[in-house]
Structure 1
Amino acid sequence: MALEEYAGAIVLEVDGQEVEVIDVNVTSKTGRKKVKTMNRTGRAKGFARGIEEHDLSLTVAIPLSGDLDWAAIEGAKLTLYPASQGGARESYLDCYTVEVGSKYSVDNEARRDIKMESLRKVTE
């Protein structure tokens, strides 16, 4: 069995400043919805296409040099870089903040939990 390579670094770019991301969860919704009709079979016959949505949950470390105003972020870019040179990058563009939280623990550094939404996804 051969070794496999996986995605590498995750970088959030806000106003030209790069922020290292500790953890990210991406949920993409296709926007498709079931169309229910009245028919003899008693089941749905198809679906309608809708608007695609991308929800992002990020965890970042709080730097000592000064924290960003996470609640005011609009138009940010989140890029997932592949570990290998041949892989394609995934970028989520026009990201804006929906929720901001803080997390403190005994063993780790202080962290921020940020929920964002993205208007589009691009594979580069």
Structure 2
Amino acid sequence: MSDDYVGQIVLEINGTEYEVVSVEPSLKTGRTVVKTMNKLGRPLGTAKGMEEHDLRISVAIPKTGEPDWRALVDAKLTIYPQDGGSKRETWTGCSLVEMGSKYQVEGEATRDLTIVALNYYEE
């Protein structure tokens, strides 16, 4: 019995593709517990909050032509599998929050980007 898994992932920002080492999207729902005084002595529900989308991306640093990551404001970021076996994920309103670099003996040098997004779509 064989299982099918999502293959290689392509990262596209505003129509330009980038070589990606890793992508770690996360979602914070913003929900909070509503504490009320009741005879059970425990909370009875939650309040709806505002969703927050964070993405931690590691991209390989090219020898020439590296984009100005500091200028990444209100961008569109799309991840789609090349095999076509999964749904495409898109984040809009993306802005750079934090940038770091990683240099190591084995492998390529990478930029570690933390990006926040305003909207998320799955197509």
Query: How does the TM-score come out when normalised to structure 2?
Result: 0.89
Structure 1 residue matching 2:70: 3-state secondary structure: helix
- Please identify runs of 4+ aligned residues in structure 1 that moved more than 4 A: none
Structure 1 position 41, deviation (Å): 1.2
Say if 1:7 and 1:81, in contact at 8 Å, map to a contact too. no
Deviation at 1:5, TM superposition (A): 2.5
CA distance in 2 between counterparts of 1:11 and 1:68 reads 14
Residue 123 (structure 1) aligns with? 122
The equivalent residue for 1:9 is 9
Aligned length: 123
Aligned-pair CA distance for 1:86: 5.1
- Verify: 1:62 aligned to 2:61, yes or no: yes
Q: Which amino acid aligns with 1:99?
A: E
Which amino acid letter does the alignment assign opposite residue 65 of structure 1?
T
**Which residue of structure 2 aligns with residue 111 of structure 1?**
110
Q: Which secondary structure state, in structure 1, belongs to the residue aligned with residue 11 of structure 2?
A: strand
Q: CA RMSD in A?
A: 1.6
Unaligned runs of 5+ in 1: none
1:34 offset after TM fit, Å?
Answer: 0.8
User: Which residue identity is paired with 1:62?
Assistant: I
Deviations 1:68-107 (A, max 9, x none): 2212211222222134335321111111000000110111
| Structure 2 Cα separation of the partners of residues 61 and 120 of structure 1 | 26
Counterpart CA distance in 2 for 1:18 and 1:103 is 21
Q: Call closer, same or farther: CA 1:86–1:25 in 2, change over 3 Å.
A: closer
CA distance in 1, matches of 2:73, 2:21: 20
Residue in 2 aligned with 1:71? 70
One-letter code of the match for 1:121? Y
Q: Contact conserved, 1:7 with 1:80, CA < 8 A, in 2?
A: no
Indicate the structure with greater strand content: 1
TM-score by length of 1: 0.89
